[in-house]
Amino acid sequence: MRKGERARAKVAGAIGLLFLSLSGCKPEKQLPPEPVIEFKSFTQFGDSASLVISFTDGDGDIGLSDAYNQPPFDTGSTYYHNLFLDYDTLENGAWRRVDFQLPLYYRIPVITPTGQNKTLEGEIAVALKPWPLITYSAGWPADTVRFTVTLVDRALNVSNAVESPQVRIAY
């Protein structure tokens, strides 16, 4: 191999190594520390239903374990739950919030990723059983409903609120 060919081979090898080293480095996604949610779907299955949202969280502090039982996560606190569904019915063209004796609040378990990058992206599916939550009758014209969903992380950052589209209850 001549001197010029060796020099070209070294340059080509160096460029190849540089390309390989740069292609292996993926920049971390920069997401806000507050959860961001998006409505994905609502599906009825006869006597049950499923509501699905997607979420992102920049610092990965979604979820509560049983160890989180001191204020503000104790049973008497608003933040004992971290996923909140509000239920509205359409009555005479206007939406009315329904307050249940047992609200549609849930405690999502810890899903913090291991490793250095704590950014979280995923979906949460909520099973609603029984469905429908309120039975339709002649005196109760609520055959169309919607949900408003919010998510709270362990730092008490509240997500945006998302509404489902109108859901026509299949009786």
Q: What is the pLDDT of residues 113-140, one digit of tens each?
A: 777 788 999 999 999 999 888 766 555 5
Q: What is the pTM of this model?
A: 0.79
Question: Residue 54 has what pLDDT?
Answer: 97
* pLDDT score, position 31: 83
How many angstroms separate the CA atoms of 131 and 134, rounded?
8
pLDDT, one tens digit per residue, over 36-67 is: 999 999 999 989 999 999 999 999 999 999 99
CB 90 within 8 A of CB 142: yes
Please compute the mean of the pLDDT values over residues 88-96 and round it to a whole number: 90
All domains in the chain, ordered by first residue = 36-168 (2.60.40)
| CA nearest neighbour of 88 among 20, 156, 169 | 169
| pLDDT for the residue 159 | 98
Do the bridges between strand 120-128 and strand 49-57 make them parallel or antiparallel, or are there none, so unpaired?
antiparallel
Residue, of 108 and 5, whose pLDDT is higher: 108
In this prediction, residue 29 carries a pLDDT of 64
- Whether the pLDDT of residue 6 is over 60: the answer is no
